Amino acid sequence: MQKHLEGIRVIDLTAWLAGPFVSLNLAAMGAEVIKIERPKAGDPCRWNPPFAGPQGVSHARKTDEDTSLLYLKRNRGKKGISLNLQSEWGKEIFRQLVKKGDVVIENFAPGTMDRLGFDYPRLKAINSRIIYCSIAGYGQNGPYRDRAAFDLTIQGMSGIMGVTGFPDGPPTRCGAWIGDMIPALYGVCGILAALASREKTGQGERIDISMQDSCFSLIMDEALDLHLSLGIPMRTGNRNPRLAPWNVYAAADGYLAICVASNEQWIAFLEAIGREDLKEDSRFKNQEGRFKHSDEVEIVVKEWLKGLTQEGALRTLRAKKVPCDAVPEIPEVLEDPQLKARGMMPELLHPQSGPTGLKTAGFPVHFSERPGGYSSPAPSIGQHNQEVYGGILGISDAEMEKMEGEGVI
C-alpha cells in the first residue's frame, strides 16, 4: 500500500469546481477516481480559456487536444471515462460501476439524480456499502434548494462578502474560489468519516453538503450578532475587530502584516519600535484598551514605518519575536522559496503533450509514511474506457464498439 486511500474506488459525476475539488483531494490520497463525462461534450470546464495543448498555451483553442488549464488542474490523478447517463444502457453500466465502487460524488442540481433513477435509496439497494456525497448550492432541502449557485452567489448568500472589504466600501468577494473549495473540503471530511465508520458498521452513508452552510460556518467564529448589537462594523478591512495592532501596513517598498494578540506581544512591539514610553499608557494596557483606542494604535504603527523598508521593518520586529510577515504580490508568491521547498509548485501536465511550462499547486498534506500527490495528468474524454469497461466491468471489445456506435460511450 503506497497511499492511504488505495483500494477505494470513487465514481465521480461532478463538473466545474466544487465536486472535482473533492475527488482531486481523494485522488491525491490514493483513491481510484473514475471521472464520468458526457461522450464528446465532457465536463463544461474543459472549454473555459485559457487552454494548453501541443502548440502551447493560448486563450483560443488551436487543436482538438487543447484543454482548459482549469480542467487540467482540477482533475489530476483521475481516470476518465465517457458515459451517456440519459440512455438505458448507460444507466445499466453506471449501476455496474456502483456495485464495484465505494463512493459516488455528484454536484448536479437537486433532484437530477432522482430523475435519473440514481437517488441514494436505489444506489444503496445496489451496494449497501456505497457512500453517496452530494454538493449543491443550498443542499438537498430548504426554501433555496432549487436555486442555481456559483462561487460568487454563495460568497454573497453565506455572509462571506458581508464581512469582507472595508467599512466604507461594498461587500467584497474573497479572491480565492472559497465558495466552491470550502464546501469541497467539507465533502472530503464527510467522505473520510463515512469510510472510517463503514469499517465498523459495514454500512454506507448519505452526505449532503450545502455550499451556503459550509461558507456560513466560516464567518461565525466571530460573535457577529454581538458585534451588530455593539455597532461594530461587519467589514473591517484587514483589521481585527478585537485586537490592535492587527493590520496590513505600507512600508516604503511594500506591505507587511503585523499581528499583536497578547499583552506580552504588545510590550515586545513597543520595545522593537522604540516606544517604551507607551508601556504604562493606560489606553493600551490590555487588549480591550487597545481595541477601544485602535485608531491611536494605528497612528503609532504608521509613524514608526515612515521611511522604513519592508525588510528593515520585518527584521526589527522579528528580533523581538513580534508576529509579522511580508505581504507579497503574486509574482513574488510564485517564486517563494518556502513553497518551492515543500513541493508546492509542480509543473502542470497535459495528457497528450506533457509539460505546459505553467505551475500548479501541489498536494498540501504531507504524510510521513504514505505520501500523497497526483500520479497522472487530468484525463482526456474517455481515455480510460478500455481499462474501466474492459478491465473492471469485463465488457468485451465488440460490446464497447457497439456502445460507442450507439452513443453510450
> Which grid coordinates belong to 95?
449501476
Q: How confident is the model at residue 3 (pLDDT cuts 50, 70, 90)?
A: very high
Q: pLDDT tens across 311-352, in order?
A: 999 999 999 999 999 999 999 999 999 999 999 999 999 999
Write down the catalytic residue from 180, 208, 213, 325.
Answer: 180
Active site residue 146: no
The helix/strand/coil state of 406 is coil
Neighbours of 126 (CB within 10 A): 15
- The length of the chain is 409
What are phi and psi for residue 25, nearest 5 degrees?
-70, -35
What are phi and psi for residue 304, nearest 5 degrees?
-65, -35
Q: How far apart are CA 258 and CA 368, in angstroms?
A: 33
- In this prediction, residue 80 carries a pLDDT of 98
Q: Just give the CATH number of 9-218+340-405.
A: 3.40.50.10540
Contacts of 203 (CB under 8 A, 6+ apart): 128, 129, 197
Q: How far apart are CA 175 and CA 170, in angstroms?
A: 15
Q: Looking at residue 389, what DSSP letter applies?
A: I
> Angle formed by the axes of helices 263-273 and 310-319, to 10°?
130
Mean pLDDT over all residues of the chain?
97
Q: How confident is the model at residue 1 (pLDDT cuts 50, 70, 90)?
A: confident
- With 90 as the cut, is the pLDDT of residue 255 above it? yes
Q: How far apart are CA 262 and CA 38, in angstroms?
A: 56
> Among residues 135, 142, 81, which one has the least CA distance to residue 108?
135
> Angle formed by the axes of helices 294-305 and 263-273, to 10°?
30
The angle at the Cα of 213, spanning 212 to 219, to the nearest 5 degrees, equals: 90
Q: How far apart are CA 261 and CA 277, in angstroms?
A: 20
- Across the chain, which distance is largest between two alpha carbons, in Å? 87
Neighbours of 47 (CB within 10 A): 15
Residues 6/9/10/11 CA torsion (nearest 10 deg) = 160
Write a three-state SS string for 22-86: HHHHHHHCCCEEEEEECCCCCCHHHHCCCEEECCEEECCCCCCCCEEHHHHHHCCCCEEEECCCC
Amino acid, res. 338: Q
Report the percent of the chain where pLDDT is more than 90.
99
- In this prediction, residue 344 carries a pLDDT of 98
CB of 362 within 8 A of CB of 18? no
> Among residues 368, 402, 372, 400, which one has the least CA distance to residue 386?
400
Q: Does domain 246-250+255-326 have CATH number 3.30.1540.10?
A: yes
Q: pLDDT tens across 208-245, in order?
A: 999 999 999 999 999 999 989 988 899 999 999 899 99
> Is 0.85 surpassed by the pTM of this model?
yes
Averaged pLDDT, 127-151: 98
Block residue for cell numbers 451496494:
127
- The partner residues of 248 in beta bridges, in order of sequence, read 257
Long-range contacts for 185-193 (Cβ within 8 Å, ≥24 apart)? 185/21, 185/25, 186/214, 187/18, 187/19, 187/22, 187/105, 187/133, 187/135, 188/22, 188/25, 188/26, 190/133, 191/22, 191/26, 191/103, 191/105, 191/131, 191/133
Q: How far apart are CA 11 and CA 123, in angstroms?
A: 12
CB of 208 within 8 A of CB of 190? no
- In this prediction, residue 333 carries a pLDDT of 98
The residue extents of the domains of the chain are 9-218+340-405, 246-250+255-326
End-to-end CA distance of the chain: 32
> Which grid coordinates belong to 212?
451556503
From start to end of 131-200, where are the E strands? 131-136
CB of 130 within 8 A of CB of 104? yes
Write a three-state SS string for 185-244: HHHHHHHHHHHHHHHHHCCCEEEEEEHHHHHHHHHCCCCHHHHHHHCCCCCCCCCCCCCC
> Among residues 269, 266, 248, which one has the least CA distance to residue 257?
248
User: On the CB side of 42, how many CA atoms lie within 13 Å of its CA?
Assistant: 18
Q: How far apart are CA 392 and CA 359, in angstroms?
A: 34
Q: pLDDT tens across 154-201, in order?
A: 999 999 999 999 999 999 999 999 999 999 999 999 999 999 999 999
**Dihedral over Cα of 94, 398, 388, 136: its sign:** negative
- In this prediction, residue 190 carries a pLDDT of 98
- In this prediction, residue 340 carries a pLDDT of 98
